[in-house]
Every structure is written in C-alpha cells, then in structure tokens.
C-alpha cells in the first residue's frame, strides 16, 4: 500500500510551526490550521493532475530533482516560520513556483483557501507561497528515499495518492484545478497524427495475429490458453457498441472501457495481468491521441490494442506447454500476522508506470472499488484497499486464519491520543455497514504504535485506540459482542522504525475476521 504523503506532510506543518505561520500572516492559529488543511490536499491534487501529461510530469520531475528541492527546507521550518529575510525570500520564491506550476489557476486556488478557512486572500497567497516549497521539498526528498529515478515513477507515486485525497478536497476544487472542457481538448488533436497512430496500430494487429496463428499451428498453445484468448476475443466483440457510446460521452468513460480490457486478463496469471494492463493503458492513450476526425477511428484503436493484448497472452503461454490452471477469486493479502506467529509482510502492488491522467481526483473511476451490500448500502472505497479486501474475504470461501489481518487505510487519530479524527468517519461508516450486511461476521481490532517513546505508554495508547474504534462501530449500531479489541504497542512492526515513512506504517489499526 502506498504511503499517505498528505499525513506525512502534516507532521511537518503542525504545532509551533502552525502558530508561527499564523503570526507571520496575521491570522488566528485556528483559521491558519484550517487553511493548511485545505491547501495541502489541493496542492497535492493539482500536482497529481499533471501526471497524465508526459511533458508536465517531466518538468515537475526536473524541478523536484534540482538542488533547491532536496528536502533541506524541512529541517529548518521552525526558524523559517518565525519570519525574517529568509522567510520573505521563501514566500517570494514560492509564489513564483505556484505561477509556474498552476498558471492562471493560482488566483482560484488562493480564493478557495481563503473561503474555506476564513483568512484573507492576501494571507492565503502568503500561506500558499510558504507551503509550496515545503511540498516540493518533501516530494523531492521522497523521490530519493524511494529511489525514484524518472518521471514515470513520479507519476505512479502521485497517482497512488488519489484515494487518500478523495474525501478531503474542498467543494469547488474541481472548478479551480479541474480538467479543461472536453470540446476544448479535442480541438488540440491533429488528424494526421490520428491516421498515423491508427495505421501503426493496424500493422501491429496483423503482425500479432500472424504470430498467434503460427503458435496455434505448431501446437504451442494449450487448450486453456486458447479458451482464454477466445474469451478475450468475445469481450472485444461486445465492446464495440460500448466504445461508440463511450466516445460520445467523455474520455473518462472510454478509459474505463480500456481498464475493463486489462481486468479481462486478470484471470490468466500475474505476468499476463501486467501485460494486459499495459495494453489497456495503451488503448486509453491511443484514444487521447486519436480523438479527432469525428472519432471515427476510435473502435479500431481499442481493438488494435486488444489484439496486442491477445498476442501478449499467447506469447507468454507459448513459452510453456503446461496447462493454465483455473483460478478462483484471489484471497486478500495478509497485512500483518498477529501473535504468536511473526508476520510475513508482502510487497505492495506495483503501480502502472504510466497511469491515466486525473480528470478530477475525487471522481477518478479507476481508483475506486464500488459495491452495493446486502441491504442496499453502496460502498465506494479505494480499489485494492482495506474495504475491498475485507469485503472480498468475507464473501469468499477462504478459511479464517489467525494470521490474516487487514490494515485500515482511512483511520487517523490526534497525535498521541486515542481520539479518532473526523476524516475517519467514511471508513468507520463503511465497516459498520459491512458488519450489518453480514450479521454472522465477527472481528478483532488490533492497535499498534511505532517504537518512539516508552513501551508501556505505547501499549496503553494502542489499546485505547483499538477500543476507540470498537466504540465508534458500536455507536453506529454494531453489537459490541461481535467485536474484540486489543493493543500490541510497538510489537509486530510492518516496516522499519528508522524513517518517518516506516513509523507511519507501524502506527496502524488492523482488523481480523474471527467468524463469518
């Protein structure tokens, strides 16, 4: 699971730093803190929006890897927030960065922060000028920590944050930093480029089918692989009408169709899944490059990418003569093993290297898991996140295990307290509704801390936080007898405690299904 960069950023802009900034811009600490809570997710979402454009994300990568944004500003925030010549220089440079990154949208962003927090526009402008170098310095340092060495890696990092921001963006954000209208975007496309794209795709289709036919003729394709390829071919037949309809609505809808192509490959093994998603993404990119000329080439573009997907399947299957086993829905990954067994932490899922552009972070379809539970409650949560894994396990036939835990990814507490923050309400509500929808399910809630401070205090804090989650669910109507809560302090870490990122992962609430 991706690190929540917003939460990590908040640790740098809290406490005395907030009080100092309030004095610096002439606003109350309460309103200043509110302004920071609006500004941080808005700035991150604005940067995420750049990840869909190769030129923009390349420029941002160059900015972040420059010597000015290596993270040095983070170590001096206390002094910088108190004012002086260096502070004035920081704010001035920050305003220049805002203009460079967001252009004419800076005014709208400034007004949004002002409106949401109650501070003046002038104060909001100074605040944004102070914060943007902090955000860029933080991201620049994170690139070094994660050893991200290219713009594609930066795009993957940023897009992995969209789920964390979806419930935190202020009303009106889309109109400030949202995408340009569809009609304006289509005016930018070049019909000659469209024809070239389609021609190249068609050539690849013919070559792919020739190679696939050769593999079938030589007997290198197993029956199972042949059936799988046939299934994908049927899928493309059914997609033709969907493509036409989607093309009339919006780019986002066609990208959803392209995503379905990648999902069709998910039943055929991890290697083919990766290739399938790459080809699905290629289809979405080709759509953007070929959206002119009345969109008449669009079905061929997606079908061409689909044929390449089939070739990827046949190629990988052709390298082995073993029968491809049929698979049931995969079980959720064990997040942490509880005592007495020491956990075996699995690697987080790999993000696609060139993710689809973000039209609106709060409405990014591909980033969400949606399901209507028995009883009618509709869930919309982060795809492959805690909620989707919990529901998937409850509905599966997989046996209950004392070592299978799921880490909540939408729960936060006040620092060194067991007070659940308001922003955690959506996930608390979802868990409560899941337990109501499946009344036979019982759970255990585990609380954890990092190893900072005294072990006894950490154990107490972890117990209190687990109990707080149990109480919050009980308030929502879940019977207390269906839930158990226990704290484990700093035991069973899932990451190193030597870095802030690792410590954040270790400060967590896990849930285990004990009956279903």
**Each residue of 177-236: pLDDT tens digit?**
654 332 333 333 333 343 444 444 445 544 554 555 455 445 544 454 555 555 555 554
Cα–Cα nearest to 169, from 77, 39, 294: 39
Cα–Cα nearest to 100, from 172, 143, 50: 50
In terms of pTM, does the model score above 0.85?
no
Q: Is 381 helix (H, G, I), strand (E, B) or coil?
A: strand
CB atoms within 10 A of CB 458: 22
Query: Cα–Cα distance between 33 and 18 in angstroms, integer?
Result: 6
49-55 CB contacts, 8 Å cutoff, 24+ apart: 49/177, 49/179, 49/357, 49/358, 49/361, 50/101, 50/158, 51/154, 51/155, 51/158, 51/159, 51/355, 51/357, 51/358, 52/155, 52/355, 52/356, 52/357, 52/358, 53/357, 54/151, 54/354
pLDDT at 147: 86
**Do β-strands 368-372 and 378-382 pair in parallel, antiparallel, or remain unpaired?**
antiparallel
Query: Cα–Cα distance between 390 and 378 in angstroms, integer?
Result: 15
The domain ranges of the chain are 5-179, 184-318, 364-515
- SS (HEC) of 332-344: CCCCCCCCCCCCC
Query: Under a CB-based contact definition with an 8 Å cutoff, are residues 76 and 147 in contact?
Result: no
pLDDT at 214: 53
In CATH terms, the fold of domain 364-515 is 60s Ribosomal Protein L30; Chain: A; (3.30.1330)
How close are the terminal C-alpha atoms of the chain, in Å? 25
Residue 453's region, left for phi above 0, alpha for psi from -120 to 50, else beta, is: left
Measured CA angle at 426 (ends 516, 462), to 5 deg:
70
pLDDT at 366: 47
Which portions of the chain are predicted below pLDDT 50? 1, 179-202, 205-206, 209, 213, 216-217, 220-222, 224, 236-237, 239-275, 277, 279-280, 284, 286-297, 299-300, 315-334, 336-337, 340-366
């Amino acid at each position: 699971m991706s690190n929540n960069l917003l939460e990590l950023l908040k640790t740098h802009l809290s406490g005395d730093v907030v009080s100092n900034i309030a004095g610096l811009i002439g606003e109350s600490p309460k309103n200043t803190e509110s302004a920071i809570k609006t500004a941080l997710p808005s700035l991150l979402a604005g940067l995420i929006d750049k990840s869909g454009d190769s030129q923009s994300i390349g420029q941002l990568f160059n900015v972040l890897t420059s010597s000015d944004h290596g993270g040095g500003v983070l170590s001096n925030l206390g002094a910088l927030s108190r004012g002086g010549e260096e502070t004035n220089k920081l704010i001035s440079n920050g305003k220049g960065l805002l203009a460079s990154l967001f252009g004419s949208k800076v005014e709208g962003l400034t007004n949004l922060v002002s409106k949401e927090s109650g501070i003046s526009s002038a104060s909001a402008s100074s605040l944004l000028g102070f914060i943007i170098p902090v955000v860029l310095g933080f991201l620049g340092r994170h690139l070094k920590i994660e050893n991200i060495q290219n713009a594609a890696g930066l795009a993957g990092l940023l897009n992995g944050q969209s789920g964390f921001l979806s419930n935190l963006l202020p009303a009106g954000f889309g109109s400030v930093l949202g995408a340009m209208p569809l009609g304006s975007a289509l005016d930018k496309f070049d019909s000659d480029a469209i024809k070239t794209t389609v021609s190249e795709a068609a050539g690849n289709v013919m070559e792919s089918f020739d190679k696939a036919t050769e593999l079938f003729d030589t007997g290198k394709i197993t029956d199972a692989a042949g059936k799988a390829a046939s299934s994908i071919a049927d899928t493309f037949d059914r997609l033709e009408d969907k493509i036409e309809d989607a093309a009339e609505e919006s780019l986002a809808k066609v990208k959803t169709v392209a995503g379905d192509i990648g999902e069709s490959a998910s039943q055929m093994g991890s290697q083919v899944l990766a290739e399938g998603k790459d080809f699905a993404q290629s289809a979405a990119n080709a759509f953007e490059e070929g959206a002119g000329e009345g969109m008449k080439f669009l079905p061929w573009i997606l079908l061409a990418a689909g044929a390449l997907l089939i070739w990827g399947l046949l190629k990988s299957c052709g390298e082995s003569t073993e029968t491809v086993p049929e698979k049931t829905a995969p079980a959720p990954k064990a997040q942490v093993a509880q005592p007495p067994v020491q956990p075996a932490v699995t690697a987080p899922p790999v993000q696609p290297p060139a993710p689809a552009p973000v039209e609106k972070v709060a409405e990014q379809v591909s980033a969400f898991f949606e399901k209507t539970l028995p009883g009618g409650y509709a869930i919309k949560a982060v795809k492959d996140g805690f909620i989707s894994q919990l529901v998937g396990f409850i509905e599966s036939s997989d046996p209950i295990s004392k070592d299978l835990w799921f880490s909540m990814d939408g729960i936060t507490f006040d620092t060194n307290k067991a007070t659940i923050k308001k922003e955690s309400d959506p996930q608390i509500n979802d868990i409560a509704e899941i337990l109501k929808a499946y009344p036979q399910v019982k759970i255990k809630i585990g609380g954890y801390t990092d190893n900072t401070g005294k072990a006894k205090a950490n154990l107490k804090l972890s117990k209190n936080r687990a109990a707080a989650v149990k109480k919050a669910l009980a308030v929502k109507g879940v019977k207390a007898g269906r839930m158990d809560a226990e704290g484990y302090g700093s035991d069973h870490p899932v990451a190193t405690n030597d870095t802030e990122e690792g410590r954040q992962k270790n400060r967590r609430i896990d849930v285990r299904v004990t009956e279903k």
